[in-house]
Amino acid sequence: MSLPVLQGGFTKSLAITVLSEVGDRTFCVAAILAMRYPRRSVLFGCLSSVIVTTILSALVGKAAPNLISREWAHYITTFLFFGFGLWSLWEAFNEDDDDNDELKHVEKELANDNFKKRNWPFLTHFFSPVFLKAFSVTFFGEWGDKSQLATIGLAADGDALAVILGGITGQTLCTIAAVIGGKSLASRISERLVTLMGGVLFLFFGLLSFFSPVVAE
């Protein structure tokens, strides 16, 4: 595969999203909800949420060069890649591979969720309660994670549309796998291996970004 292809926003966004989301919080949310409620409603709710968050994140990144120079946006994105890479490697070497903490945490949180006690008088006229739950839990779970911050950085340093398409494609693949595979699939995923692979990928793209020229404004 040629270097320009690897440097493409779509490829970077797709690869980073898949390795960041597999086995992560939102993956576990979709897997658990799909076992409790109709899969179609869960799938549409989770997909709608990740599509919205991906687009919003890319728009934030797209607006960044209006606040700072393209050169600084490039340097910040490179720094994020290296930072996330080292962070992921540290997590991989310090977590217990035999204990899926993320899945257990999400299960506990959903078990104590008071969603049924909430009133959605307006939204329930248009969407099912299951759709709203899948959307809201996924939406708030996405904010601040590595894939979202990486999406912002990629959009700031390159083609925002390509980043959006790559991110949505990756999120769709992960969500479909989670809904179909359910808790059984989520519990079999090696968090350490996925995190390690994600760390290596972040560092690899960080090196590509470091040695690539800054796109002219």
The burial class, CB within 10 Å (0-12 / 13-18 / 19+), for 116 is exposed
What is the per-residue pLDDT for 36?
84
- Higher per-residue confidence, 186 vs 66: 66
Instruction: Compute the distance between CA of residue 149 and CA of residue 84 in angstroms, rounded to an integer.
Output: 10
Nearest Cα to Cα of residue 150 among 4, 45, 14: 14
**Coil/strand/helix, residue 114:** coil
What is the per-residue pLDDT for 181?
82
pLDDT tens digits, one per residue of 91-132: 878 876 555 666 677 777 776 665 554 555 666 667 788 888
What is the per-residue pLDDT for 113?
61
pLDDT tens digits, one per residue of 79-91: 888 988 898 888 8
pLDDT tens digits, one per residue of 187-213: 676 777 777 888 888 888 888 877 776
Instruction: Compute the distance between CA of residue 67 and CA of residue 16 in angstroms, rounded to an integer.
Output: 25
Phi, psi angles (nearest 5°) of residue 138: -70, -40
The burial class, CB within 10 Å (0-12 / 13-18 / 19+), for 76 is middle
Q: What is the residue-averaged pLDDT of the chain?
A: 80
